Amino acid sequence: MYREQIDAYIDAHKEQLIDDVMKLVRIDSQRTQEEPGKPYGEGPAEVLEAAKELMDSYGFAVRNYENRVVTGDFNEKEKQLDILAHLDVVPVTKDWTVTEPFKPVIRDGKIYGRGTADDKGPAMAALYAMKAIKDLGIELDYNVRLILGSDEECGSSDLVYYYGIEKEAPMSFTPDADYPVINIEKGHFSKKFHAAFEDCEALPKIVKIQGGDKVNVVPANAKAVILGLEEQAALDAAKKAENETKVKFTVTKNQEEIVITAKGVAGHASTPEVGNSALTALLQLLAGLEAAPSQGFDRIRALAELFPHNDYYGKGMGVDMEDEISGKLTMNLGVFQYSPTSLSGQFDSRVPICGTEENVTRVGKKNMEEAGLTMEEGPMTPPHHVPGDSVFVQTLLESYETYTGIKGKPLAIGGGTYVHGLERGVAFGCMVPEVDNHMHGDNEFMDIDMLVTSTKIFADVIVKLCKK
């Protein structure tokens, strides 16, 4: 009944929608040093104020939560739906070629600029969905609230603050991910570990290992320095490991030291099978050397067993598991350093719904202790799940299918979204997995047709969920 009216309204206001997206993109809202009254710095506070002015001008009741979050309410009735988006952005480089990051342009049906896809464009799509319903005079029996945060990229302390004051709505979604709908986000088991031991003078011995820069990235580079090893032995070991792992090894001699470098393929920790870890390949090589016995070398061999090369699923750690709806646990050794007297590192594991403190955290801790390694204390971030057969999720899928003509089904991911901490929150739009919007990269863009379609989808969802 209302769909044709809403669709015609959104089509008629397409240029205004684009203008408002570009208005927000022009604001550099990277987090900076805290200032009085501006917990995330000048840019995030400025973009929140700009969004507040827009929501106020479009007739919504607005509130600013200490320059962390701003909200816009459709009406004063009982709240049924929260839509969460964020207006802060990730850092930029000077390598953009289409435009400068904060000077948005339109080319080939796309808006280019930092934040167009993540998450200023989707935020404005949600706002214009509410605006269409309000301007058309469509009465809602429940309230929908748009929540715009400003610290998603640096840990979501904005939502911690907000939900310390406000209650979660019966239903929540964030348009900060992919269609059709993400209703499962795996748990996060990421821990640092360390060990200390006595130096050993006997040769050959490993004096240094360095691999990885970020725990959530499969290491593409790693290096080891070995003292007292014959060059030919190193070359033979490198050739053998290269054949076994498909990682490229280079051996160089520097006076009395042998330096072995490994070149693999980077990947995200949530999908480690896409990469090829230089670090675990190097550990495999080193564990097979005829090095002098020592406490340090024992730890290296133990690590090679805990994190075997191409063990993407935590079998070496003893935590491999899988369930039907969220898939397999994944494991990535992301960062590692070694010296003659100590080692330290950090791994990143994404845990399916069947994972618990008992069968993941405690098992991992026990097996690391048996290997002579100390794992940091603390629980894992538990998996997040909203049932796929719920009225909420099925309504989202129905609206998605209506406007795209594509049959949708709920998705499980290894990463986390803006609603991971909400009991009843899912991720819904605005991107599709097959299109690379260059989120977090150079030349980020938002497809205008997808922006308009998403606005219509969101409006359809709001009416269905908030009107009896």
Kindly report the length of the chain: 468
d(CA 224, CA 260): 5
Structure tokens at 160: 């911690």
Residues 189 and 216 sit within 8 Å (Cβ to Cβ): no
Residues 80 and 142 sit within 8 Å (Cβ to Cβ): yes
Structure tokens at 111: 């808006």
d(CA 120, CA 13): 17
Q: 17 φ, ψ to 5°?
A: -60, -50
d(CA 253, CA 203): 16
Q: Which residue blocks in 289-417 are alpha helix, DSSP H? A: 295-306, 362-370, 391-404
User: Helix, strand, coil shares of the chain as percentages rounded to 5?
Assistant: 30, 30, 40
End-to-end CA distance of the chain: 13
Active site residues: 88, 152
Residues 212 and 336 sit within 8 Å (Cβ to Cβ): yes
Structure tokens at 437: 């919007």
Query: In the 8-state DSSP scheme, what is residue 426?
Result: E
d(CA 158, CA 141): 29
b/e code 337-368 from CB counts within 10 Å (16+ = b) = ebbbeebbbbbbbbbbbbbbeeebbebbbebb
Q: 235 φ, ψ to 5°?
A: -65, -40
Question: What 3-state class would DSSP assign to 428?
Answer: coil
Question: What 3-state class would DSSP assign to 69?
Answer: strand
d(CA 405, CA 408): 9
Residues 6+ apart with CB under 8 A from 262: 211, 221, 222, 223, 247, 248, 249, 278, 279, 281, 282, 285
* Integer CA distances (angstroms), 40 to 23, 86, 228, in order: 20, 13, 52
Residues 132 and 13 sit within 8 Å (Cβ to Cβ): yes
Write the burial class of residue 222 (CB in 10 Å: 0-12 exposed, 13-18 middle, 19+ buried). buried
d(CA 383, CA 404): 29
